[in-house]
Chain A
Amino acid sequence: MLVRTVFPALVALAPLSVSAGTSTLFASGEDLATEGVNAPRLSRDGWALQFSHITATFDQITAWQTAPPFMADGEEISGMPLRIGGPFTVDPVDADARDRVAVTMRDAVPGHYNALSRALVPGADGYSPVLDGVARKNGQVVPSTLRTSDSVAHVCGECPGDVRKGFVTADAGSGLEITLHPDHRFGRADRADDAESNLSAAGFDRFAAGGMHGIARDWLHPDHLGEGHCHVASL
Chain B
Amino acid sequence: MSRRSDRAGLLVIMAGLLAPHAALSHAALIEAETAQAIRLHAVYDTGAPMSHAQVIIYAPDDPARPWGQGVADRDGRFDFIPDATEGRWTVQVRQAGHGAIAHVQLHGDAPVMLTAPRATGWLERAVMVALVAWGALGTILFALRRKGRHDASS
A223 close to B101 (CB less than 8 A): no
Contact with A along B47-67 (1 / 0, CB 8 A): 010000000001000011000
- Stretch from B18-26, B29-37, B115-123, B145-153 that touches the partner: B115-123
B25 → A minimal CB distance (Å): 52
A223 to B119, CA, bound (A): 10
Interface residue? B94 (CB, 8 A): yes
Q: How many residues of A contact B (CB 8 A)?
A: 29
Pick from A68, A184, A191, A229: contact of B103, CB under 8 Å:
A68
- Stretch from A21-29, A48-56, A196-204 that touches the partner: A196-204
B98 close to A196 (CB less than 8 A): yes
Interface residue? A153 (CB, 8 A): no
B96 close to A197 (CB less than 8 A): yes
The verdict on A228 contacting B101 (CB below 8 Å), with A191-B96, A196-B96 known, is yes
A200 close to B125 (CB less than 8 A): yes
A68 close to B115 (CB less than 8 A): yes
B87 → A minimal CB distance (Å): 11
Interface residue? B16 (CB, 8 A): no
A200-225 residues at the B interface, CB under 8 angstroms: 200, 218, 222-224
Interface of B toward A, CB cutoff 8 Å: 44, 46, 48, 58, 63-64, 88, 90, 92-101, 103, 115-118, 120-121, 123-126
B118 close to A181 (CB less than 8 A): no
A101 to B94, CA, bound (A): 24
Which of the listed residues B64, B95, B103 has the most CB atoms from chain A within 10 Å of its own CB? B64
Interface residue? A136 (CB, 8 A): no
Q: Which residue of A lies closest to B64 (CB)?
A: A167
B92 close to A160 (CB less than 8 A): yes
Interface residue? A86 (CB, 8 A): no
Pick from B92, B103, B125: contact of A199, CB under 8 Å:
B125
Q: Across the interface, which residues of A come within 8 angstroms of B103, CB to CB?
A: 68-69
A19 → B minimal CB distance (Å): 17
A134-175 residues at the B interface, CB under 8 angstroms: 157-158, 160-161, 164, 167
A167 to B64, CA, bound (A): 7
Q: Across the interface, which residues of B come within 8 angstroms of A71, CB to CB?
A: 115-118
Q: Across the interface, which residues of A come within 8 angstroms of B63, CB to CB?
A: 112, 164, 167
B96 close to A229 (CB less than 8 A): no
B96 close to A69 (CB less than 8 A): no
Which of the listed residues B48, B101, B123 has the most CB atoms from chain A within 10 Å of its own CB? B101
Contact with B along A61-86 (1 / 0, CB 8 A): 00000001101110000000000000
Q: Across the interface, which residues of A come within 8 angstroms of B92, CB to CB?
A: 160, 164
Interface residue? A231 (CB, 8 A): yes
Q: Which residue of B lies closest to A218 (CB)?
A: B123
